A = this chain, B = another copy of it.
Amino acid sequence: MTQAPLHPLDQAVQLEPAGEHRYRGHTSQAYWNMIGPFGGATAAVMLQAALDHPERLGDPSALTVNFAGPIAEGAFEVVARPARTNRSTQHWHLELLQNGEITTTGSAVFAVRRDTWNCGEAVMPAVPAADSLPRMAGFAPVKWLGSYDMRAVRGAKPDAAAGTENPDSLTQFWLRDAPARTPDYTSIAAWCDAFYPRIFLKRAGFVPAGTVSLTTYFHADAATLAALGDRHVLGSAQARVFRQGFFDQTAEIWSPDGELLATSHQIVYYKE
């Protein structure tokens, strides 16, 4: 009897218990950025610790991850401690440590979803179907891009002449894991950081930049995510302001049927 190998994402977020509220994990080459892990993988593994915790109540509603310091290749520990558990919500304190030093802080809110009056006020952008678009080529030094199947709709690459300013910083692409994997909260947490820094697009060139703080709101229940199977989702991201070394980004993740699965916001450091 053989067992199918774990999907690279499931490998990347695999944790083993290491004491009360503590878990041991390891960085993943499949989700490696240039000099550290892809931030989305870090967000995902911190959420995973709360998902795995025996006292977990409900499903993720909000996740904040603050990238405080570099993470080196190798082992790490995640602390996931329920700070307060109510009847239908649960608040988590999260930390990632390497060699006893805090590299990443965070918090999460889990909640029990209920049937209510619902309304999708925002409308999914009208875009060509994923199948009609070619898969984007990766960029060899950035390994984690190979773990995604991305189909560019617009703003996918800062490909104008360097130094030319673009009128907007809007990127839209269809996205799914590669190899394909049915989405869950873990993969959504990672997807929300899958947009390269908006300043690359705005300025049509590369400058040092990195996410400082990332907050994701999960709007879909587990059954909705499971029903997506291996279809692509539409990702969209844009900045509002670049000022004094920091810019913001708001991202949306849409199901192909037009349901808003997640919204995510981040503040990003840049040097220029």
Any chain B CB within 8 A of the CB of A172?
no
Any chain B CB within 8 A of the CB of A242?
yes
When each residue 199-228 of chain A gets 1 if its CB lies under 8 Å from chain B and 0 otherwise, what string results? 000110000000011010101110000000
Q: How large is the interface on A (under 10, 10 to 19, 20 to 34, 35 or more residues)?
A: 35 or more
Which residue of chain B has the shortest Cβ distance to A271 in the bound complex?
Answer: B116
**B212 contacts A89, C-beta separation under 8 Å:** yes
How long is the Cα–Cα vector from A89 to B70 in the complex, in angstroms?
A: 13
**B64 contacts A83, C-beta separation under 8 Å:** no
Copies of this chain, complex-wide, total 2
A residues apposed to B, CB below 8 Å: 61-62, 64, 66, 68-69, 83-84, 86, 89, 91, 93, 95, 101-103, 105-107, 109, 111, 113-122, 165, 168-169, 202-203, 212-213, 215, 217, 219-221, 238-246, 248, 250, 252, 260, 263, 265, 267, 269-272
A241 cross-chain contacts in B, Cβ below 8 A: 119-122, 219, 260, 263
Q: How far is the CB of A263 from chain B (nearest CB, A)?
A: 6
Which residue of chain B has the shortest Cβ distance to A260 in the bound complex?
Answer: B241
Q: How far is the CB of A67 from chain B (nearest CB, A)?
A: 9
Residue among A84, A118, A244, A271 having the largest count of chain B Cβ atoms under 10 Å = A244
Which residue of chain B has the shortest Cβ distance to A243 in the bound complex?
Answer: B118
A269 cross-chain contacts in B, Cβ below 8 A: 89, 111
Query: Taking A116-B270, A219-B246, A252-B240 as contacts, is the C-beta distance between A213 and B265 under 8 angstroms?
Result: no
9 more CB-based (< 8 A) A-B contacts, given A68-B84, A113-B245:
A61-B267, A84-B101, A84-B103, A109-B267, A115-B244, A119-B242, A120-B241, A215-B265, A250-B263
Q: Which secondary structure dominates where chain A touches chain B?
A: strand
**B109 contacts A106, C-beta separation under 8 Å:** no
How long is the Cα–Cα vector from A168 to B122 in the complex, in angstroms?
A: 9
Which residue of chain B has the shortest Cβ distance to A261 in the bound complex?
Answer: B241
A203 cross-chain contacts in B, Cβ below 8 A: 117
A271 cross-chain contacts in B, Cβ below 8 A: 116
A91 cross-chain contacts in B, Cβ below 8 A: 66, 68, 102, 105
A69 cross-chain contacts in B, Cβ below 8 A: 84, 86
Q: How far is the CB of A90 from chain B (nearest CB, A)?
A: 9
**B248 contacts A263, C-beta separation under 8 Å:** yes
How long is the Cα–Cα vector from A213 to B83 in the complex, in angstroms?
A: 14
How long is the Cα–Cα vector from A117 to B93 in the complex, in angstroms?
A: 36
How long is the Cα–Cα vector from A66 to B84 in the complex, in angstroms?
A: 11
